[in-house]
Amino acid sequence: MAGTTGRPDPTLDTARLAGHPVARVGFGAMQLAERGGRAAPARDAALGVLRRAVELGVDHIDTAEFYGAGVANELIRSALHPYPDDLVLVSKVGAEHHPGKGLVPAQRPEQLRAGVEANLRSLGVEQVTVVNLRRLDTGPGIEATGDQRVDLDGQLAEMVALRDEGKIGGIGLSNVGVDQLRRALPVGIACVQNVYNLLDRSGEPLLDLCREHDLAWVPFFPLGSAFPRMPSVTDHPAVIAAATALDVTPAQVALAWLLAHDPHVLLIPGTSSTAHLADNVAAGSVHLDAETMSTLDGLAVAPG
């Protein structure tokens, strides 16, 4: 088995997202919103992580206006605006922060439009390169009820209108099923974000469909989650053993497996640590040999 060699260069391994070439290891801003806040020293550290990410070659940042009630977008704008020409900013809509209630569903078409407008303002851009429509039919996280349980077709019509107006460049889907993706394909879909990792491959049929239509697959919770029935990938003995043999971290093994599993995979691991950021980017240079891949391929566990 062979591990990383030399300084990681994520630009050597790229894929396309809404027509834009991006390094396959990007950055997710949710943790910065949760831990960075608006006050020093946490804020200064968060700004430093974002700037270091770009220095390391990250050109795909995933965010949302509802991450930290606007904190994530404010940090991104403060750290990186005016943005590098090759930086792809991806946001999402489908939820919002409500005073006194916290994060609540925002699934109705007019709420999706308001969410896009809020992202444009907070990021300081005229167009968000890709906006993901986060469906809330099921968990993890909040679920839509009552008048928030809306038909996908109406949502897609609003997203298409926003794209036609130039406010978004591409439409993505998040937390959807195979049938929903099939229904959405005719409008033009750039990417799909669903739960997927080394241990939970319940999304494999969706990945197959993305492969068939050459869509980017952007897994969230790539290392597992604290949500119930979502095991930690990095705690699995086989992952730890592979990491020891390679002299890398278990997280790097888990991320490297995702990259090797399919070329449509784009990663957006998040962190509030510059050290962990460097490790995540370096995962793009971790090579897993055939024997290791075979062992890891056999680890999938049934969700729930």
The mean predicted confidence, pLDDT, of the chain is: 93
- 8: confidence class by pLDDT, cuts 50, 70, 90: very low
**Which pLDDT score is estimated for 1?**
35
- 226: confidence class by pLDDT, cuts 50, 70, 90: confident
CA angle 61, 272, 207 (to 5 degrees): 45
d(CA 109, CA 141): 21
**Which pLDDT score is estimated for 59?**
98
**Which pLDDT score is estimated for 228?**
77
Average pLDDT over residues 143-162: 98
Tokens of 231: 């095991």
The domain spanning residue 89 has which CATH number?
A: 3.20.20.100
Considering only CA atoms, which of 56, 59, 54 is closest in space to residue 89? Answer: 59
Q: Is residue 285 part of a domain?
A: no
Question: Per the structure, how many domains does the chain have?
Answer: 1
Residues with Cβ within 8 Å of residue 165, at least 6 apart in sequence: none
Q: Are 193 and 220 within 8 A, CB to CB?
A: yes
* Least confident stretch, 32-36, 75-79, 202-206: 32-36
Q: Are 118 and 92 within 8 A, CB to CB?
A: no
Q: Is residue 85 part of a domain?
A: yes
Tokens of 297: 């391929």
Write down the residue that tokens 């993890």 correspond to: 140
d(CA 61, CA 29): 7
Question: Which residues are designated catalytic?
Answer: 67
Q: Is residue 183 part of a domain?
A: yes
DSSP 146: G
Q: Residue 202: which domain range?
A: 14-231+263-271
CA angle 107, 123, 13 (to 5 degrees): 95
Q: Is residue 279 part of a domain?
A: no
Q: Is residue 23 part of a domain?
A: yes
- 302: confidence class by pLDDT, cuts 50, 70, 90: low
DSSP 178-201: HHHHHHHGGG---EEE-B--SS--
Q: Is residue 142 part of a domain?
A: yes
The radius of gyration computed from the CA coordinates of the chain, to the nearest angstrom, equals 18
Q: Is residue 283 part of a domain?
A: no
Write down the residue that tokens 């492969």 correspond to: 211
